[in-house]
Chain A
Amino acid sequence: MSTATAAGTRPADTARFAWLWTILRQPGLILSWAVLVAVLLAAAVPSLFTDADPLRATGPRLTAPNAQHLFGTDNLGRDVFSRVVHGTSASVQAVAVAVLLGLLIGSLMGLLAGYFGRWVDDILMRVVDVLLAVPALLISLAFITALGFGTVNIAIAVGIGNVAAFARVMRAEVLRIRGMAYIEATTFAGIGRLRLLTRHVLPNAAGPVLVLATLELGLALLSISALSFLGFGAPPPAPEWGSLVAGGRDYLSAAWWMASLPGAVIAVTVLSANRIARSINRQQYVSV
């Protein structure tokens, strides 16, 4: 992984191989992208990775990882790797719901607050203050109390917990852009507010919000797993990753792989998302 100090002298001879140099310089980043692409592929086409049935016994119960069962088998003889692969889409969907919900509501709040300022800003930012004052996990728990258990409800609950972060970033960006000279100039030029918003403010603010969204991908995955662990995600037949870890934990001493390997998949995915967020961030010059 690269750091600021690794900014060595670049071979100046060929600009043609610049991209290659970038890749070689950042093997971690490439790996992270590879992981994310693999996860998305697994979510879309699980059969690419495994043809074992995730719902039926395909081997003896509780076999340790081997060539046939990469992640071993679970207490019912089902292939754990296959369960992870088939659980990907549920996890990805839950994470997507959580992040999109936070992104949409939060960005809208930040946009309105930053754009209209004054009392709109005051009210919306007080709401954000409240959301910030309560730990995201507790907000989620309150929502779960209200909505009931289940993966979708968990995802919504986690999404609400994300709103504040998005609202703050969006508002800060809007304020920054609004303060820029050229926007003031366009205002004078009589360009409509809506047009100003869609043509200038939104595209400029997209970058930092995107960085945050990438970062939130990993955090949402962790939060969803934690809530599954606490027993609030009713596991469907092809469970998402969090419930796989949660369900396997009773077998830690007898079959370490049941909880550990899905746990490792979560960790690697979160790590990759964070790595990518940081790399985008470095290009965007935004402190996250």
Chain B
Amino acid sequence: MASYAARRILHALLVLWAAFTATFLLLYALPGDAALNKAGVGSDGSVLDPAQLAQIRTQLGLDQPLPLQYGKALLGALHGDFGTSVQTGNSAAAMYVEAIPETLKLAGAALVLAMILGIAWALLASYTRVPLLRQALVALPAAGVSVPTFWIGLVLIQFVSFKWQLLPAIGNEGIESLVMPAVVLSIPSAAMSAQILLRSLESTLNAPYIEAARARGASRARVLLRHALQNSIIPVITALAMTTGHLIGGSVVMETVFSRSGVGAVTVRAVNYQDTPVVLVAVVFAAATFVTINFLVDILYPVIDPRIRVRASRRFRLLPARTAT
């Protein structure tokens, strides 16, 4: 077990390093010019001459050869220093880290909601016997992953906040401001986990031991909750773990729609201003989150389901969980 964990940690670090390197190469080979962006043309005619531009480039370290820039960046990143933001001149990492708690709240709430909604929905659909209703319940999650979330969010604001004035449309304060964005953000993940659980339940319910339980006179509800769910939940947890990264991605959209602060808002601005250090932090952070959560889930599998042998877990994953943003 210990050596397994060690190997997983090593692998996680390798992934992080590769994510950093790939993003660095991508961003620093870009055609855009951070120096020009920072101070190219003032609206009042303060055009920088080439000498001044060159000076800013030097200041930003853009005139050094790529390997040197990379070496410095990697060394800095190991110390948590990703350089300074082109927009503000502040530490890019600090700017990003500062925004993490708000996004964590949003993504965390959405994750919990997705789990609850997804499981409840699948159970409800499995439990329902009225064919038409059941079909509707089975079909709806597919619709849930088909509608652009920003659109749902904007429409929801119009009604819930402006028309009925139930919840605030903007800001981060209080739990009430978290409700709408978390619900909307959870929709694709909830729909996805409902679909996976439904499929998983379907096959489990046909298993012989379920038949046996039924034969012993267990009620449908009991069979579903006690026997089937327990044995069907693993793929859902796997999928939700894979989807955490997508919640961070989705927060980019939700934070724009609901005027929230957080890493999503920071990322969008960074892309707009070609603020490469901040974009780099965003990618590395997302990768770190993903790697950590999947490591934990891998470690947790045997706890949830003793039938799973540790070595098999990597092969166990289904297709990567893909949700829309």
Contact = CB atoms under 8 A, between A and B. Distances in A.
| Touch test A–B (CB under 8 Å) | yes
Given A164-B320, A252-B155, A126 B15 contact: yes
A267 B148 contact: yes
A271 B146 contact: yes
A236 interface: no
A137 B279 CA distance: 12
Interface stretch (B16-24, B41-49, B62-70, B108-116): B16-24
A135 B320 contact: no
A162 to B, nearest CB: 9
A268 B146 CA distance: 7
A138 B283 contact: yes
B325 A133 contact: no
Contacts of A288: 319
B145 interface: yes
Given A134-B287, A138-B286, A229-B150, A3 B15 contact: no
Contact of A148 (B31, B146, B199, B256): B31
B151 A130 contact: no
Contact of B246 (A127, A135, A212): A135
Interface in A248-265: 249, 252-253, 259-260, 263
Interface string A161-193: 000110011000000000000000000000000
Main SS at interface, chain B? helix
A4 B204 CA distance: 13
Given A145-B276, A229-B148, A165 B15 contact: no
B149 interface: yes
A212 to B, nearest CB: 8
Interface in A214-255: 215-216, 218-219, 222-223, 225-226, 229-232, 242, 245, 249, 252-253
Contacts, number: 180
Interface stretch (B95-103, B172-180, B221-229, B264-272): B264-272
A266 interface: yes
Interface residues of B, number: 63
Nearest to A167: B320
Contacts of B150: 225-226, 229, 245, 249
B82 to A, nearest CB: 14
A286 B207 CA distance: 19
A45 to B, nearest CB: 26
B319 A142 contact: no
Interface string B108-131: 000000000000000000000001
A29 to B, nearest CB: 12
Interface centre among A5, A138, A169, A259 (most CB of B within 10 A): A138
Given A222-B148, A226-B149, A270-B146, A144 B158 contact: no
B297 to A, nearest CB: 13
B14 A132 contact: no
Nearest to B246: A135
Interface in A19-39: 28
A219 B139 CA distance: 17
A4 to B, nearest CB: 6
Given A126-B15, A266-B148, A142 B23 contact: yes
Nearest to A220: B324
6 contacts: A130-B18, A130-B19, A138-B245, A145-B30, A165-B319, A225-B150
The 7 closest A-B pairs by CB, nearest first: A135-B249, A137-B249, A222-B324, A146-B30, A270-B146, A135-B245, A271-B146
